[in-house]
Copies of this chain bind each other. A is one copy, B any other.
């Protein structure tokens, strides 16, 4: 049996030193351990724990920000629901890539999609007295649930890994019928499972949310990154699937962090359903000073939390949306690089005896995107994580990523081509040692 690169004692000494609970390492703890192990052993890790983008932002963003600085916009307050240019660019982009028609007043700027999700959850829970629960279609990015917790809202979940298609809709209907759900929250493509809701599912969710007057909150954190389809052509089908094409009760969160490699400036869009924007919910008045949903979102929510998003960043995002709509920026092609990395990494892991945890996407094979979900027969996920650390490979457990399943989440964004042979060799070593 070959030597494992990092001795068990080295890892155990660091665990004792840091005081981390080896049975449930959080993402930042894995990151810290990997860095400490690198420093101690000189072995450069293949880093796959963080789910952060790693592709340079399109040049349009910085160019537009520089222009905005030149014009002095950093010296004036932005309108707290977004500058007209960004609202206009957002509405055009939605038509071009999601085949969604909304007025500019329905497009609001937020400090990251995080702020849009925070305000959307707050309003979802307050639109109707007694319907405070946020229902997550799990797995769920854990911070979305922390938002509900900070807002003091009860939450519940339906597991997408077990429920798809008609079964999902039947379960959702049964859950909504209990009458306590104010909002239904999901991300598609999903972090970490990378499952993607299809048009029939989205149509069904929209119908059920409308029927039960619950708010559908769709998190497009990975917009256009289901690379099994080509969503890259403005104005041409296929269009990015969205609940927005079907129902009346929705808020769509459009992040720029991954799709536009623009996480640094905390600038995103929230899109409010035109059918909801003007609607009045008297129960919103107590907390937002207005019954009108759109006004409550901007004036009640965005104003009191940050009073707007960075002025120059709004120009940066607008410039990218404009260039994409004009066919001058193929934002999908840029992120397709992640899909390529996932395809290579998936093959390596499977060759080494790993198995996909979420392999099936409602009858189709799961796509290659930003994450892989993997386990190894005979090893519980916490043990597997620790064992891979000893080979210079850092990952997190699916449980810590909001999934109820055993296994690991592997983010492909930081693995470059030069590391492929290194990873392949380490996985082969691992596999050999387990045989």
Could you list which residues of chain A lie within 8 angstroms of chain B, going by C-beta atoms? Answer: 52-53, 55-57, 61-62, 65-66, 69-70, 72-78, 111-112, 114-115, 118, 122, 143, 146-147, 149-150, 152, 257, 261-267, 286-289, 300-301, 303-313, 316
Contact = CB atoms under 8 A, between A and B. Distances in A.
Contacts of A310: 264-267, 310, 313
Contacts of A288: 149-150
Tally of this chain's copies: 2
A149 B287 contact: yes
A264 B65 contact: no
Contact of A152 (B74, B257, B287): B287
Contacts of A74: 57, 61-62, 65, 262, 264-265, 313, 316
Contacts of A72: 56-57
B65 A312 contact: yes
A263 to B, nearest CB: 5
A261 B300 CA distance: 26
Contacts of A257: 77
B266 A309 contact: yes
A301 B152 CA distance: 12
Contacts of A287: 149-150, 152
A307 B143 contact: yes
A66 B66 CA distance: 7
B305 A114 contact: yes
A111 B306 contact: yes
A112 B62 contact: no
